[in-house]
Amino acid sequence: MSRIKEFNLPDLGEGLTEGEILAWLVKVGDVIELNQPIVEVETAKAAVEIPAKWAGQVQAIFHPEGSTVEVGTPIIAIDTDPGAGPIEASTTGAPAAALPTPSAASLAAVQVAPSEGAVEPGLIGGPAPGGRTAVLVGYGPRTTAAKRRPRKGDTPVPAQAAAPVAPVAPASPAPVATGPSNGHGPAGGPVLAKPPVRKLAKDLGVDLATLSGSGPLGSITRDDVQRAASAATTAAEPLAVSAPATAVASFGADREQRIPVKGVRKLTAENMSRSAFTAPHVTEFLTVDVTRAMKALDRLRSRREWRDVRVSPLLLVAKAVLLAVKRHPMVNSTWAGDEIVVKDYVNLGIAAATERGLIVPNIKDAGRLSLRELADAMTDLVQTAKTGKTSPADMSGGTLTITNVGVFGVDTGTPILPPGESAILAFGAVREMPWVHKGKVKPRQVTTLGLSFDHRIIDGELGSKFLRDIGEFLADPEAALLAWT
């Protein structure tokens, strides 16, 4: 029996079996709260923060940053009653001589560890204070106040991957600051800033330690960071701030570099290989004069209610796909062996290139959205992907995908189907080209579409009609909206 509880890497859903520890948000000796974020983990689909399953004091960290850990493997040990006195060394595997002899009071305070498989308060999927369900950070509310995490680098996490860190004697909580302290907590304490603010500072190359916080208790806000970044940009001599760390290619004596295949790249490779050699792909191309579509976008941007909305050609392509699906429902289906599953909803995937690799988050039930709602959903999807915070749920359940290769100046391509989907559209660059218009050669805005589809479900006639309808919409979206809706 022990009050020391080991927290295993939880199942983050969608059949994921492992995750890479990106960053520890706590260190040995820290006093933590229930549901406080303790570690950031990258799976094959997303980077997520995992909350503490219990309140208490961190006794051991079992794996350093950069380690790949299987689901169900212990990653951290927490003393759930740090005020009860010293603990036995055997609870974390440290030598008995490294710890004081437990007192009678501490033995009396020992708790019975939960039976294997029991769901405790604070466990993801289990009950939490107030009767709600504990969830991953970012997926639901918390009932406890946020505890400021220590600055990364204050106390380095031990590098031993296989052995736990030796536990430390329980320490009394640090005194709480009673007023602002230039962005710092108690004297000599860590900078007070929320995780998004820390990331913003890192991206902009701003050293938080040099700032005076304007938030509660002197915490640093986004405005504080942005002001500092602007000052650094406009000053005659740049401020001496820490530049964001960048990965430097390291080549050996054989002039070769070896990059581990993991995370998003690993999952993408597996999915693409499975799809390419399972579904018989066919790709068709269509070149379209989209001059009227570009003018329609300009008129849309000029409207008062659309002035603060991100409007791009991809918005019209997405709308064209959604309307074409209504005319050809079989395109939005899945091959299930002895049957074809046709779906009455469209979870529209938008392929996004991120620092972690290619991901395909999707907009749920996109066919039911108005044009404005679709524009807002696409903006949110792109911004979330850029921050690396796209959740596994947002990348699952896609039914039809668009890949915008045109943003890279590419005319079109032959995309591979995401597993389980029957069609994917490549949208190429919009270029001014000579085009025969009303019997004369004129400069027009032209793009090329590439549609890949599963020939088990979609034959040449259906694929051609679907691509034709998308092209007709883009050639004259206003007329198509009047005729099709």
The residue out of 173, 200, 217 marking a domain boundary is: 173
Query: Given this model, what pLDDT does residue 453 score?
Result: 95
Residue that is written with structure tokens 């000796």 in the block: 29
182 plus 286 within the same structural domain: no
Residue 250 covered by a domain: no
The answer to whether residue 74 sits within a structural domain is yes
Mean pLDDT across the chain: 75
Locate tokens 């809706």: which residue? Answer: 485
Instruction: Give the model's pLDDT for residue 246.
Output: 40
- Note the pLDDT of residue 226: 74
Residue-wise pLDDT for 105-152, tens only, equals 444 444 333 433 333 333 334 443 444 333 333 333 333 444 444 444
What is the rounded CA–CA span in Å between residue 99 and residue 102? 9
- Residue 319's pLDDT is 96
Neighbour-count burial of 246, counting CB atoms closer than 10 A to its CB (0-12 exposed, 13-18 middle, 19+ buried): exposed
Q: What is the pLDDT of residue 196?
A: 67
| Same domain assignment for residues 56 and 168 | yes
Closest to 58 measured CA to CA, from 20, 7, 104, 118: 7
Whether 430 and 321 share a structural domain: yes
From residue 219, how far is each of 174, 183, 187, 270, 440 by CA, in Å?
A: 17, 5, 14, 44, 65
313 domain residue, yes or no:
yes
Q: How far apart are CA 123 and CA 136, in angstroms?
A: 10
| 3-class DSSP state of 457 | coil
Is position 443 within any domain?
yes
68 and 149 belong to one structural domain: yes
Look at residue 58 in the predicted model and tell me its pLDDT. Answer: 92
**Are 200 and 61 within one domain?**
no
Q: Among 173, 196, 216, identify where a domain stops.
A: 173
Number of H helices, E strands in the chain: 9, 19
In this prediction, residue 190 carries a pLDDT of 62
Could you list the residue range(s) of the whole structural domain that residue 8 is in? 4-173
The reply to whether 18 and 120 lie within a common domain is yes
Domain count, the chain: 3
Active site residue 455: yes
The CATH number of whichever domain residue 307 belongs to comes to: 3.30.559.10
Where does 277-346 have alpha helices with state H?
A: 291-302, 313-327
Do 387 and 422 share a domain, yes or no?
Answer: yes
Residues 224 and 155 placed together within one structural domain of the fold:
no
3-state secondary structure of 10: coil
195 located within any domain: yes
Residue linked to tokens 């999927």 = 125
Do 389 and 470 fall into the same domain?
yes
Residue 141 is classified by DSSP as: -
Ranges of the chain whose pLDDT falls below 50: 89-188, 233-247
Given this model, what pLDDT does residue 243 score?
Answer: 36
Please check whether residues 203 and 117 belong to one and the same domain: no
Catalytic position from the list 63, 281, 437, 455: 455
User: What was the pLDDT predicted at 35?
Assistant: 86
DSSP codes, 238-283: ----PPPP-------TTS-------HHHHHHHHHHHHHHTTS-EEE
CATH number at residue 140: 2.40.50.100
Q: Residue 39 to residues 25, 44, 197, 213, 336: CA-CA distances in angstroms?
A: 5, 16, 17, 25, 38
Domain end marker among 125, 150, 173: 173
Q: Is residue 322 part of a domain?
A: yes
Asked whether residue 408 is domain-assigned, the answer is yes
Domain-located, residue 48: yes
| 343 and 391 share one domain | yes
Q: How confident is the model at residue 264, as a pLDDT?
A: 67
What residues contact residue 252 under an 8 Å CB cut-off, 6+ apart?
258
User: DSSP secondary-structure letter at 184?
Assistant: B
Same domain, 123 and 236: no
